[in-house]
Structure 1
Amino acid sequence: MYVDARLACSNGEVSHAPAERRHRDLDVRGPLLMAAVGAVLIQIDLVDIWSNAWRGPGNRWWHAAPLLLLCLLMAWRRRRPLTCLALGMLVFLAESALGGSVGSLLVVIEIVYAAGLHGRGRLADRLDAVVAAAVVLAGLGVWWSTADLRAGVLAALTAFGVFGTSYWWGSSTRRQVELTEAERQRALDLAHLAELREAEARRSEREQMARDLHDALSGSLSAIAIHAEAGLQHESAQREALQVVRATSREAMGELQTMLGLLRPDVHPTVSPGLGDLTTVIEQARARGVTVHADVSPDPVPRLPSAVSQGLHRVLQEALHNVGRHSPSRSADLRLHVTDRVDLQVRSDGEAARPPGGAGSTGLGLGTMQERVTALGGRFDAGPDGDGWSVRAVIPLEPEAAEPTAEPTAEPTGRSDR
């Protein structure tokens, strides 16, 4: 039957209507098909179904007039569902008082279903109570007119089965539509949040790569530039300058290979250097012509959390690079004390203030160091210190973070020239 087909079709199609607006507000094909079905039902005399006592005009085709009026209302059921329901019920009740027809009943069922599906607003929210009241009134009306209680109960059950079920079906479909739309919107929101997180992760990764590239290569390239320039200006220093350039170039290549290994998924990444490589950092600074006086306590350096050890290694490396770039004395005092916190300080002599720039200077060093220390929950200070310049990083440790086991490559002893 057409009504059952339409209900199933609406149940399938309307689930996407709120989001994609696939349905037109005005339906033409459905009402035309219902008018044709109703005409066939009138032709086979499926009219005067409610009462044999009251009859309309003798010609059964007078039922075509209310049928066509109901089909016209059906065409607007999506745009004005409640209005079409109210007018349709008036037409249907008037025709039913004169016998009624099956064709009009089928159209009214579709209008009731559409009211449950498309109805919105306060009245639509109370429409279930209206339908329930109408079912009760239908039973009471038949009981009053026939004085037969069984006829009244049967009329109420018939009204509920025809109209109540149609409205329940429509309202259930509407709730499913709204739930589907809410889930679809939730999925879109989650996808948007995932895109934002991915973009933030990419941005953080780029910033981390920029910091690592700066820390790993800027100091070495600056040292190469400084010694190359010195070699060009003083022939007597060319051999020493070339030796420094060669050593520093090898150091930079090693750092670059380590970083490329971290970026390539097919290569087993090497562990980033930490404060256990303190001696190596000092020796590299000496190779660039920087004199380092170290005060390490305790000696050897305790095992530290990897993030703290690696972060402070980069800070120390950059601080010594800056001494080589900017300090006239090219001499640095290194102090590293580990208690319930790690206190790292690098002080250069003969530098009243940090120069704004120089050969190979990028201007990113202090900012990068501060970002690293702050990310580890520590405090970073850099500025003039008497007649020199001081860089200090203090990072608190958990009570169990600093263990007495020494890192295997840490070799610095007490304060001494390195």
Structure 2
Amino acid sequence: MSQTVDLPPCHVDVDVDVDVRGPLLMAAVGLLLLQIDLVDIWRDSLPGPVNRWWHAVPLIVLCVLMAWRRRRPMTCLALGLAVFLGEAMLGGSIGSLLVIIELVYAAGLHGRRPVVDYLEWVVAGAVLLAGAGTLAATRDVRSAVAAGLTVFAVFGTSYWWGASSRKQLELTEAERRRAADQARLAELREADARRSEREQMARDLHDALSGSLSAIAIHAEAGLQSEAARVEALRVVRATSREAMGELQTMLSVLRPDASATSSPQLHNLDGVVAQARARGLTVRLDVSPDPLPGLPAAVGQAAHRVLQEALHNVGRHSASRSAVVRIRARDDLELEVVSVGASPVSPEGSGLGLHTMRERVAAMGGRLHAGPDQGVDPEMWRVRAVIPLPSAGEAP
């Protein structure tokens, strides 16, 4: 028995709750940096001396936005950039720069597609804008390149980091979904295998017991109607009961875990099948070529045995003549033919299950089966003909 594997759902947008500890820690670090006067990153933009504690206001605003970065990453980034650019007019601070780096990273990681796909173009535009602005202000190419590289190092690297983490999470989710799909497919295959086994057991039970039980019922009824036929009816009932018990024991032995395919009934037991039919009062003429039959694959032999057994059972149940001719040919194909001589064995009491199981068995071997009146010779003659392909000499049986 296999165990069902329940995999927890995985989403790329992990942990979307409002974060508190991270922003508090970042605010504490930023205030500490203000305390040691790590401000005025862009001194050239200062109109004059600015009290360093003015930088605490945008820092706190940025930390509040940082708390919502996982739930609204793009909105927080847009507002954060506006606050960060406004603080740049005051010279900027290291604490605010650290927060904006985290917001860019969060946008790359948690942002929803397709908006996040355009963020790399925004970063590229910021790099070009920083370089062009610096070049226009200073007329120094080295300063312009340094400004562009600085913006890329700050924003481009953080975005790339977040996007790479996002791809890794997406790959992880894809693998988990694939594992879940494989687990579901395995369950479906197992259920299909169980269903096939149940159908196989139903066919075997029908083939093994239905004919014998029908013969018992027919002869028991005949014994009740005629005193002279009672002894013969009891004899047939006893023989048929033993036959049914033998078939049942054979089937149960096949169901054991250590049973092999050769434990199942085979066509090599042809004389036994014919003898059982004759014991039930049938007249059977056998025509086999070559005789003895060559070695047959176990599955083919079992299918042919069951078809022959069911066909003879149908003759005993439905044919008025109670006689049959069995022809077997083994060449490129195994050809099995059972012809009921005399009246047609069609009966309104039949369920048709026997013919259905015969067709299933032959079709499973890649063969074909015909069962019906022989219109070409005698409409009252019933013919069952099965053709099952045999493996060539170079193929394994």
Q: Aligning the two structures, in what range does the TM-score lie when normalised by the shorter sequence? A: 0.7 to 0.9
Once the two structures are TM-superposed, the CA of residue 71 in structure 1 deviates from its matched residue by 2.2
1:192 is matched with: 184
Q: Tell me, in whole angstroms, the C-alpha distance in 2 between the residues paired with 1:165 and 1:346.
A: 82
Are the aligned partners of 2:16 and 2:71 in contact in 1 as well (CA < 8 Å)? no
Once the two structures are TM-superposed, the CA of residue 346 in structure 1 deviates from its matched residue by 1.4
Once the two structures are TM-superposed, the CA of residue 286 in structure 1 deviates from its matched residue by 0.6
SS for the counterpart of 2:287 is strand
1:336 is matched with: 328
Q: Tell me, in whole angstroms, the C-alpha distance in 2 between the residues paired with 1:248 and 1:175.
A: 71
Residue 230 of structure 2 corresponds to residue 238 of structure 1: yes
Alignment of 1:93-104 (within 5 A): 93-104=85-96
Q: Tell me, in whole angstroms, the C-alpha distance in 2 between the residues paired with 1:176 and 1:75.
A: 23
Alignment of 1:105-144 (within 5 A): 105-144=97-136
- Larger mean CA deviation between 67-76 and 23-32 belongs to 23-32
Q: Tell me, in whole angstroms, the C-alpha distance in 2 between the residues paired with 1:140 and 1:67.
A: 28
Q: Tell me, in whole angstroms, the C-alpha distance in 2 between the residues paired with 1:321 and 1:115.
A: 77
Amino acid at match of 1:205: E
Amino acid at match of 1:308: V
Q: Tell me, in whole angstroms, the C-alpha distance in 1 between the residues paired with 2:170 and 2:79.
A: 27
- Describe the shift of the 1:152–1:171 C-alpha distance in structure 2 as closer, same or farther (beyond 3 A): same
Deviation per residue, 1:152-186 (Å, 9 max, x gap): 44444433332222111111101111111111111
1:410 is matched with: none
Residue 388 of structure 2 corresponds to residue 395 of structure 1: yes
Once the two structures are TM-superposed, the CA of residue 365 in structure 1 deviates from its matched residue by 0.7
1:216 is matched with: 208
Are the aligned partners of 1:352 and 1:389 in contact in 2 as well (CA < 8 Å)? yes
Deviation per residue, 1:249-299 (Å, 9 max, x gap): 222222212211121215566532222111111111011111101222233
Residue 150 of structure 2 corresponds to residue 161 of structure 1: no
- Larger mean CA deviation between 283-292 and 43-52 belongs to 43-52
Aligned residues: 384
Q: Tell me, in whole angstroms, the C-alpha distance in 1 between the residues paired with 2:13 and 2:123.
A: 28
Amino acid at match of 2:383: S
Residue 358 of structure 2 corresponds to residue 369 of structure 1: yes
SS for the counterpart of 1:214 is helix
Amino acid at match of 1:394: V
Residue 280 of structure 2 corresponds to residue 288 of structure 1: yes
1:35 to 2, 27, 37: 27
Q: Tell me, in whole angstroms, the C-alpha distance in 1 between the residues paired with 2:242 and 2:262.
A: 17
Amino acid at match of 1:197: R
Once the two structures are TM-superposed, the CA of residue 244 in structure 1 deviates from its matched residue by 2.0
Q: Please provide the CA RMSD for this pair.
A: 2.7
1:384 to 373, 380, 385: 373
TM-score by length of 2: 0.87
Q: What residue ranges of structure 1 are gaps of 5+ in the alignment?
A: 1-15, 403-418
- Describe the shift of the 1:80–1:146 C-alpha distance in structure 2 as closer, same or farther (beyond 3 A): same
2:164 is matched with: 172
Q: Tell me, in whole angstroms, the C-alpha distance in 1 between the residues paired with 2:313 and 2:9.
A: 66
Q: Tell me, in whole angstroms, the C-alpha distance in 2 between the residues paired with 1:53 and 1:85.
A: 23
SS for the counterpart of 1:110 is helix
Amino acid at match of 2:359: Q
2:346 is matched with: 354
Aligned identity (percent) is 67
Q: Tell me, in whole angstroms, the C-alpha distance in 2 between the residues paired with 1:162 and 1:213.
A: 77
1:252 to 244, 249, 263: 244
Amino acid at match of 2:381: G
- Describe the shift of the 1:67–1:375 C-alpha distance in structure 2 as closer, same or farther (beyond 3 A): same
2:306 is matched with: 314
Q: Tell me, in whole angstroms, the C-alpha distance in 1 between the residues paired with 2:231 and 2:263.
A: 34
Are the aligned partners of 2:208 and 2:247 in contact in 1 as well (CA < 8 Å)? yes
- Larger mean CA deviation between 20-29 and 156-165 belongs to 20-29
Deviation per residue, 1:377-408 (Å, 9 max, x gap): 22212222322322221234455399xxxxxx
Q: Tell me, in whole angstroms, the C-alpha distance in 1 between the residues paired with 2:185 and 2:325.
A: 49
- Describe the shift of the 1:267–1:371 C-alpha distance in structure 2 as closer, same or farther (beyond 3 A): closer
SS for the counterpart of 1:302 is coil
- Describe the shift of the 1:397–1:270 C-alpha distance in structure 2 as closer, same or farther (beyond 3 A): closer
2:3 is matched with: none
1:77 is matched with: 69
SS for the counterpart of 1:247 is helix
TM-score by length of 1: 0.83
Amino acid at match of 1:368: T
- For CA contacts below 8 A with separation 6 or more, give which structure has more relative contact order: 1
1:262 is matched with: 254
Once the two structures are TM-superposed, the CA of residue 87 in structure 1 deviates from its matched residue by 2.8
Amino acid at match of 1:376: M
- Describe the shift of the 1:324–1:17 C-alpha distance in structure 2 as closer, same or farther (beyond 3 A): closer
Q: Tell me, in whole angstroms, the C-alpha distance in 1 between the residues paired with 2:212 and 2:171.
A: 61
SS for the counterpart of 1:301 is coil
Are the aligned partners of 2:320 and 2:345 in contact in 1 as well (CA < 8 Å)? no
SS for the counterpart of 2:285 is strand
2:5 is matched with: none
Deviation per residue, 1:5-49 (Å, 9 max, x gap): xxxxxxxxxxx9952865235444433443343333323322223
Amino acid at match of 2:363: T
Amino acid at match of 1:393: A
Once the two structures are TM-superposed, the CA of residue 113 in structure 1 deviates from its matched residue by 0.6
Once the two structures are TM-superposed, the CA of residue 150 in structure 1 deviates from its matched residue by 4.5
Are the aligned partners of 2:10 and 2:176 in contact in 1 as well (CA < 8 Å)? no
Are the aligned partners of 1:261 and 1:269 in contact in 2 as well (CA < 8 Å)? no
Residue 284 of structure 2 corresponds to residue 304 of structure 1: no
